[in-house]
Chain A
Amino acid sequence: MIPPTGGFVPWGAILLGLALVGFGAFFWRAWRLYRYIRLGRDEARIDHPWRRLRDELVVYLGQRKLLKRPYYVRGLAHAFIFWGFLVITVGTIDLLLSGILGLHVPGAGSALFAWTIDVFAVLVLTSIAVAAVRRAFLRPPRMHVALDGYVILALIGILMITLLVFEGAGLAAGNLEKGYTPPPIAGAILSSIYPYESSAVVFIYAWWLHVITVLAFAAYLPQSKHLHIVTTLPNVFFRKQTPRGALDLIPDIENKDSFGAASLRDLSWKQLLDAYTCTECGRCSDNCPALATGKPLDPQKIVLDIRDQLLREGPSLLADPTAAGTPPAHWVESKPEELWACTTCAACVEACPVTIEHIDKIVDMRRHLAMMESAAPPEAQRALTNIERAGNPWGEPRESRGDWARELGVPTFAEKPDAEWLYFVGCAASVDRRNQRVAKALVSILRAAGVSFAILGAEETCNGDPARRIGNEYLWQLQAQQNIESFGRYGVKKVLASCPHCFNTIANEYPQLGGRYEVEHALTFVRRLVAEGRVRIRQDGEDVVAYHDPCYLGRHNGIYDEPRALLDAIPGVRRVEIAPHHRERGFCCGAGGGRMWMEEKVGQRVNHRRIDQLMATGSGATKVASGCPFCLIMLEEGVGAKGVQDQVKPVDVLELVAATLDQDSMGST
């Protein structure tokens, strides 16, 4: 293309001047934003470099996290705008280079490139129209609609229109290079409407308007949420590559004097980068069980509050390196209830298209509240005291932990030190009567399959998950160390857990303290036993069973298929989903994140909403099966409160398997 500045020195110089102003404004602001991020504490995020590069390809370039149920249409619209942006940016660079220096990006003069830009410009324009209509008329309830969004859409719209116009006019005026055969379609259509005489003038005006808009956009970008087109690139690269279910360790905790996040300086640089990256799309809020049931928590607000506070306090914190700054906004201004309402179900983390990590921030702030201020809710505090004193949040005597197993003759490791598997029973199945039945079910399955296993009995203590998620990292470490010592005493190598919280903590978090084992959840383990034919199941009646995904199996550990496959393996069971809240969009039971031991006084109870969702499917489910003791307790309470206990019975998948065991296979291996 022959730019309208071509050979005309003053125009090229003016363009250079404008480009310097536009990009200067961009970089000046970007540098400040970068320095604000550096106010955060250090955190290493360079492990697994190949996985990080793969994520860039899949999540950034591939837009994988945008194209998700139920966001396909808007996700695709976004993807077109984004891919268009990538392609057209190459054209923009060519435009500026040729306009200022008369140089060209290699290949930018080809017909293929002209066609690509042409097609994407039309796609982007269409997508912008979809986005604008949605924003104005079909606004999703959680969407944060501000002027910013319209400004961005308008700027992109102007860019695309001017691009197509100068392309068309350029074609008509013969300003575009030869070789564009066939000519790009939109350009060709547009070119026909300009008579030759006016096309040269239209070309010049449209070209300049386009270029000036590009530069204005560059200057505006870092003032706006649209900055995410820049920050998403590093934010995806530096996302957590450790298991999602693992919270960060506070190393050397006994020699520290401050814990958790009391100010912006206590959040890590990555957490601050997260805050810049938020696009205000509201998908996190859309999926948050706390917000959905009327709690004060809004995950998007947590992130945006941090961003706003950073922009507000950043200058003074930079000016005075000794200034601590105020605590993160939402637990000063709108009360810590927000933070305590989180069930750590990871629906927000799963939903976020730009890999923002909400839970870590919430837990860091909880850590401060719990450990520095002793300000956890009193019921949560009581659970912590119980863990400390009795090794379980219920406060049942430590010695009684293995009582349920005694009548079954389940051996402890002290009695059977050569057992292959440790069945880590967990507090719920040890002391809660309902869940003891699940433990007994697992025992009967393991026996039928001839698995060599033992329990720790009174030597087992709480895995620490509730303590860690309530924010008492110290208590978690004490519990974990105690268990790791007990495991070590018997040389335990393989751990089987029937509770997803035990499973998650031992598998993903104990390695932080040096405890590395082969850890498996009972549902995947039993699924394998069934698949290998080590236990046989006979038909025992007909059941319609809805599967409820426990958050710490599903979203935190990606275990969606095995429990379903196990249900499908039971003859007479017809499996149904609690659609659309199933698999990665599964709705929490309300008990995670230590919420099991906190009162729920505001809004609807999360577990009651879950039962509403179950009943609304109209699937005629006679049972709702889960693989988590807390889900089971919450579902039991929910069906009772909703008065549907005669229609649908909460069970653990293990109970269904145990009830249909073919007794002939007992001890067959």
Chain B
Amino acid sequence: MALERKDADASTTVSVVTVGPARSRDALRQALAMGCDDASLVLAEEPLSDLAVARALAKVALETKPDLVLCGKQASDDDQGFVGPALAEVLGWPHVSMLTRLVPAEGGVELWREVEGGHEVWKASFPVLGTAHKSEKEPRYPSLPGIMKAKKKEIPERPVGSLGADLGGPRLEIVALETPPARGGGKILKDGDMKAVAEQLATLLRDEAKVL
């Protein structure tokens, strides 16, 4: 979404930042290869609480002062969908979640989100934060020259502790994880003609499943 903006207006600068362990570098490298201008890593080898991540990112946002911050809509592991809105809250910025499209508008930007049966279109002045659902386009595949250039770029890194953000705050604790009970095998009725099968089915639904 950000790179589409850059494609449309070459003066746009796209910076990527993440809070995470050293292996997050690969993801940043991929973003650079796709065409982002710079990337930086806030190193946190131990998992942080979502709120602490939002506070750390807020420090970075205050340094770089972007017009627009885009986050993913939710993490792929715990599915909390918390960091983006929390970051907006810490910064005191407006936010719109689940974006599917960005359209530049006079003095700000139109933010499109998908709702049942259509789109909601919000308009905001800068600065603003959005969490991205899915762009209309697939993420681009980096070109080989892009990959090579990204390999040579520096990705500055600093420990999360050095930002001066409050890393405390409530943490979620996973108490237990359970798989849903295994489903029993279904029943296939095939004895007799259509009528007999229908009768058997009705009987089973009434007496066994007790749904009729």
Q: Which residues of A contact B (CB under 8 A)?
A: 253-254, 257-259, 371-374, 376, 378, 381, 384-385, 472, 474
Q: Mark B136-157, 1 if CB is under 8 A from A, else 0.
A: 0010111111111001000000
Q: Which residues of A have CB within 8 Å of B140?
A: 374
C-alpha gap A264/B25 in the complex (Å): 39
Q: Is the CB of A259 within 8 A of B141?
A: no
CB nearest neighbor in A for B139: A385
A-B contacts besides A372-B143, A381-B138, A474-B147, 10 pairs, CB < 8 Å: A254-B148, A257-B148, A371-B143, A372-B144, A372-B145, A374-B141, A374-B143, A374-B146, A381-B141, A472-B144
Q: Is the CB of A376 within 8 A of B141?
A: yes
Q: Is the CB of A373 within 8 A of B143?
A: yes
C-alpha gap A381/B146 in the complex (Å): 16
Q: Is the CB of A378 within 8 A of B142?
A: no
C-alpha gap A98/B196 in the complex (Å): 104
Q: Which residues of A have CB within 8 Å of B144?
A: 253, 259, 371-372, 472, 474
22 inter-chain pairs at a CB distance below 8 angstroms, sorted by A residue, are A254-B151, A257-B145, A257-B148, A258-B145, A259-B144, A371-B143, A371-B145, A372-B143, A372-B144, A372-B145, A373-B143, A374-B140, A374-B141, A374-B142, A374-B143, A374-B146, A376-B141, A378-B138, A381-B141, A385-B141, A472-B144, A474-B147
Q: How large is the interface on B (under 10, 10 to 19, 20 to 34, 35 or more residues)?
A: 10 to 19
C-alpha gap A183/B64 in the complex (Å): 100
Q: How distant is A475 from chain B, measured CB to nearest CB, in Å?
A: 9
C-alpha gap A257/B151 in the complex (Å): 13
Instruction: Summarize B's interface: helix, strand, loop or mixed.
Output: helix
Q: Which residues of B have CB within 8 Å of A253?
A: 144
Q: How distant is A66 from chain B, measured CB to nearest CB, in Å?
A: 41
Q: How distant is A262 from chain B, measured CB to nearest CB, in Å?
A: 12
Q: Which residues of A have CB within 8 Å of B148?
A: 254, 257
CB nearest neighbor in B for A372: B143
C-alpha gap A376/B147 in the complex (Å): 16
Q: Which residues of B have CB within 8 Å of A254?
A: 148, 151
C-alpha gap A254/B149 in the complex (Å): 10
C-alpha gap A372/B143 in the complex (Å): 5
Q: How distant is B151 from chain A, measured CB to nearest CB, in Å?
A: 8
Q: How distant is A189 from chain B, measured CB to nearest CB, in Å?
A: 70
Instruction: Give the top 4 A-B pairs by smallest Cβ distance, nearest first.
Output: A371-B144, A374-B141, A374-B143, A381-B141
Q: Which residues of B contact A (CB under 8 A)?
A: 138, 140-148, 151
C-alpha gap A569/B52 in the complex (Å): 71
C-alpha gap A258/B151 in the complex (Å): 16
A to B contact number (C-beta, < 8 Å): 28
Q: Which residues of A have CB within 8 Å of B147?
A: 474
Q: How distant is A560 from chain B, measured CB to nearest CB, in Å?
A: 37
Q: How distant is A565 from chain B, measured CB to nearest CB, in Å?
A: 44
Q: How distant is A361 from chain B, measured CB to nearest CB, in Å?
A: 20
Q: How distant is A327 from chain B, measured CB to nearest CB, in Å?
A: 16
Q: Which residues of A have CB within 8 Å of B141?
A: 374, 376, 381, 384-385
C-alpha gap A277/B81 in the complex (Å): 63
C-alpha gap A246/B142 in the complex (Å): 26
Q: Which residues of B have CB within 8 Å of A257?
A: 145, 148
Kindly name the residue among A258, A374, A385, A472 whose own CB sees the greatest number of chain B CB atoms within 10 A: A374
Kindly name the residue among B140, B144, B151 whose own CB sees the greatest number of chain A CB atoms within 10 A: B144
CB nearest neighbor in A for B146: A374
Q: How distant is A364 from chain B, measured CB to nearest CB, in Å?
A: 14
C-alpha gap A254/B151 in the complex (Å): 10
Q: Which residues of A have CB within 8 Å of B145?
A: 257-258, 371-372
Q: How distant is A354 from chain B, measured CB to nearest CB, in Å?
A: 34
Q: Which residues of B have CB within 8 Å of A384?
A: 141
C-alpha gap A474/B145 in the complex (Å): 11
CB nearest neighbor in A for B147: A474
C-alpha gap A259/B146 in the complex (Å): 12
Kindly name the residue among B140, B143, B147 whose own CB sees the greatest number of chain A CB atoms within 10 A: B143
C-alpha gap A254/B145 in the complex (Å): 9
CB nearest neighbor in B for A474: B144
Q: Which residues of A have CB within 8 Å of B138?
A: 378, 381
C-alpha gap A257/B143 in the complex (Å): 11
CB nearest neighbor in A for B144: A371
CB nearest neighbor in A for B138: A378
Q: Which residues of A have CB within 8 Å of B151?
A: 254
CB nearest neighbor in B for A475: B144
C-alpha gap A254/B138 in the complex (Å): 26
C-alpha gap A98/B100 in the complex (Å): 85
CB nearest neighbor in B for A254: B148
Q: Which residues of A have CB within 8 Å of B143?
A: 371-374
C-alpha gap A601/B79 in the complex (Å): 37
Q: Which residues of B have CB within 8 Å of A472?
A: 144
Q: Which residues of B have CB within 8 Å of A385?
A: 141
Q: How distant is A381 from chain B, measured CB to nearest CB, in Å?
A: 5
C-alpha gap A452/B148 in the complex (Å): 42
C-alpha gap A571/B148 in the complex (Å): 57
C-alpha gap A225/B145 in the complex (Å): 39
CB nearest neighbor in A for B151: A254
Q: How distant is A383 from chain B, measured CB to nearest CB, in Å?
A: 11
CB nearest neighbor in B for A253: B144
C-alpha gap A665/B144 in the complex (Å): 53
Q: How distant is A244 from chain B, measured CB to nearest CB, in Å?
A: 26
CB nearest neighbor in B for A472: B144
C-alpha gap A263/B142 in the complex (Å): 22
Q: Which residues of B have CB within 8 Å of A373?
A: 143
CB nearest neighbor in A for B145: A257
C-alpha gap A70/B145 in the complex (Å): 47
CB nearest neighbor in B for A473: B144
Q: Which residues of B have CB within 8 Å of A259?
A: 144
C-alpha gap A261/B146 in the complex (Å): 18
CB nearest neighbor in B for A380: B141
Q: How distant is B164 from chain A, measured CB to nearest CB, in Å?
A: 36
